[in-house]
Structure 1
């Protein structure tokens, strides 16, 4: 299949997913029906409890269905955070599958939603809506490139930042494109990443930020960021004018991390870097892409392949990457070994973590450092190695 056609379809899928996320938030009565607690091996490590929403699952299955429709055989290559099984209030187990017409999909959704025909109908209409975005001019660079669909896999995080999505708050100080949102709906992202199955290398990344701008706090518009690195062809939608990093008032590079890692990392980095926090792994990675910060650093194992695959592909297209935190600090970064070490420590997406179960088999066990500029990465490694 043509790479340009695949990217165009991924953009359609991400925008359709974003519209689904916005529509569910607008339907308050529907939204209240959509929360089901995760249990067992599917419970993420980030929280004492975690939520699986029907929004997550239906978006994931919608992406699978739409890719399968466009490229037969692609649907089974889509892997995501969520499983597609629900238990309704009378204890009936239901598998959510997108059917070949709205009537059948509505019927399946009604079983999950305890017979709520209106809610099921709203969702089914969105699922079966056609999305055809204008093809970006940048896709011309991929017109002659082909990918074997058997040689690739797709990682999907249908709604990254589920807690922010559920609470629905908004950082009143957030200025779209100018600063980092500290909480709320702007921290929600839809992540779709393509990787090579033989090597695990990220190839294509699409990030949709469904809640990017609002004038009244109710009506939201989103935006899309994408990039691809296939062979020697590297293309992103990020214009050159947006590729200058924003520095802090003190002239320091800003580093984003999690609240749980802030104090620990600040001990080693505060002299030379400004330490910032924000919710949402996908959002923090997007901030590196947007040059709102110079890096995202996390020493812990609480991000996953579906969090990092799409942003990694975009950063790779921009000359950056996402490496293993612990692996990098243990590497030989002397001038003669540096390039090889950086290649070896890039996160890959084809192999699970040994001796791990459920979703935790796909956690980034050694932590992550996402970077735009190699010199910043080396400076971070130098400071962190002093501990």
Structure 2
């Protein structure tokens, strides 16, 4: 006799489906050419795609899981304003629904879950035409830890059954694994992925000490973690407080499920409870394996760690 999926499995399956729909919204806004750009702060922008994709995600998940705590990047978005009915997604990814839930998560209740949402990670890149950098991020945390996550690429191009397909969705689940792509080994030489739009002397110094053969400067935390998973980079280094919890919760969950590790620049894990401060004040250090993460951590000078701690 088959049993119904656990709450966490259902929530992850729902998140995969709603991320697909949010990605279509992102593409639709771009195709219409009216981005509705608003400057939230210095080098911090919001578009109609950010606002609309967040409405879709929060409304869809709230309708099915009313007691979970959802924290979205666009906190000034009015989710009560009318929007198209097809933005409410109630179906769930069938493959994910078949997953076995780890025993320690089977009894989790809605009230114990915090979902972190970045409806459009890489907004600057979106407005500048670097569309492959853009991702939709959904992270699911329990007891302050990211236990499942979704990274959707709206502009990923592939051929499925002879037909062109736009967009792909990658998921990760603690002690279960990852889906939606094939994990690749890290490159033979040390390749660093880092920010293309939020650099400063501290960031540059952290990169110099790594002695990397190549430094990739790209947008979005989600895209940087994808580069690790796809074997295009070895380590993700960002010695700055510019990232937020919604940038890293989903990607950390996926990376961890793939055997990787994401911490702050001194090697501590971030906490993802609803009461935690949103900025990741101690930067980001991530790698697709424990050994690579340990190596990168050993290269960061103590003076650099102290300088970031003072910021």
TM-score, normalization by structure 1:
0.68
**Deviation sequence 1:150-196 (CA, Å, 0-9, x none):** 111000000011111123x2xxxxxxxxxxxxxx0000000000111
**What is the root-mean-square deviation in Å for CA atoms of aligned residues?**
2.6
How far 1:71 sits from its partner (Å)? Answer: 2.2
- Aligned mates of 1:351, 1:67 — CA distance in 2: 17
2:109 matched to 1:148? yes
- Going from structure 1 to structure 2, the CA distance change for 1:139 and 1:3 (only over 3 Å counts) comes to farther
Contact 1:228-1:234 within 8 A present in 2 as well: yes
2:261 matched to 1:315? no
Contact 1:138-1:236 within 8 A present in 2 as well: no
TM-score, normalization by structure 2:
0.83
> Which residue of 45, 64, 67 corresponds with 2:61?
67
What's the counterpart of residue 256 of structure 1?
A: 193
Consecutive unaligned residues in structure 2, runs of 5 or more: 1-5, 304-311
Larger radius of gyration: 1
Which contiguous aligned blocks of 4+ residues in structure 1 show a shift greater than 4 angstroms?
none
How far 1:133 sits from its partner (Å)? Answer: 5.7
Consecutive unaligned residues in structure 1, runs of 5 or more: 86-94, 99-104, 107-123, 170-183, 329-344, 354-360
What's the counterpart of residue 127 of structure 1?
A: 87
What's the counterpart of residue 246 of structure 1?
A: 187
- Going from structure 1 to structure 2, the CA distance change for 1:56 and 1:302 (only over 3 Å counts) comes to same
- Aligned mates of 2:86, 2:38 — CA distance in 1: 21
Contact 1:321-1:346 within 8 A present in 2 as well: no
What's the counterpart of residue 112 of structure 1?
A: none
- Going from structure 1 to structure 2, the CA distance change for 1:220 and 1:302 (only over 3 Å counts) comes to farther
- Aligned mates of 1:295, 1:139 — CA distance in 2: 32
2:291 matched to 1:375? yes
- Residue correspondence of structure 1 range 42-191 to structure 2 within 5 A: 43=41, 48-74=42-68, 77-85=69-77, 95-97=78-80, 105-106=82-83, 124=84, 126-128=86-88, 130=89, 132=91, 134-136=93-95, 139-142=98-101, 145-167=106-128, 169=129, 184-191=130-137
- Aligned mates of 1:285, 1:55 — CA distance in 2: 22
2:301 matched to 1:385? yes
- Going from structure 1 to structure 2, the CA distance change for 1:132 and 1:96 (only over 3 Å counts) comes to closer
How far 1:321 sits from its partner (Å)? Answer: 1.8
